[in-house]
Amino acid sequence: FQLQTGCGPVALANRFAWANGMTLDQREMLALQETVTRYLQGPVVIPWQFIRGARHLFRRDGFQLDPLTLTLLHHTRAGRERAIGFIAAALSADDPPILLMGPNRPGATYRRDFKNHWVMITELRVTADHAELTVSSCGQSFAIDLDGIIRSKLFISLVALRVRERDHPLTKT
């Protein structure tokens, strides 16, 4: 069950650790993933499930989230450019976005291993005709072709979690 549903909690644990400047060894990361699993119970198949769990997790430590999302249902040049802009803006704001790759399209062969899978994007490289993502998935780094992933999945969703301290009411002195 954890192998089938663990990628959402792993991606959220990565994002939580990033937001809090944590450097964790494997034991500490596993403990954090166990904590995250209490807030993000799988299978998590849509962005709002992920965001709801993330809000509860971050709220526990006094933070508030301002989530941004983008979902693409098919490959178009405009959609590709929106995705690149979304990813670039999130990375430049030090808010690594989370990518949900939906089910494989019938007959698609690119990255069939990443079916219904959550990863955290850590880098974007764009040339005139190519966009490559570096993603963190279950403790490993992978290179993913953005166009290949959009074409091969029924949908992709991007989630940026802008983290800020929760507003506290003013106290009278």
Query: What would the pLDDT profile of 128-155 be if each residue is shown by its tens digit?
Result: 889 999 999 888 899 999 999 999 999 9
Per-residue b or e along 61-85, where b marks 16 or more CB atoms closer than 10 Å to that residue's CB? eebebebbbbebeebeeebbeebee
**Whole-prediction pTM value?**
0.91
pLDDT number for residue 173: 45
| Token pair listed for 40 | 């993000």
Reduced to 3 states, what is the DSSP secondary structure of residue 68? Answer: strand
Least confident of 55-59, 89-93, 109-113: 109-113
Place of tokens 């450097």: 23
pLDDT number for residue 167: 64
Of all residues in the chain, the percent with pLDDT exceeding 70 is 92
| CA atoms 53, 12, 123, 93: torsion sign | positive
Of all residues in the chain, the percent with pLDDT exceeding 90 is 80
Distance CA 65, CA 127 (A): 32
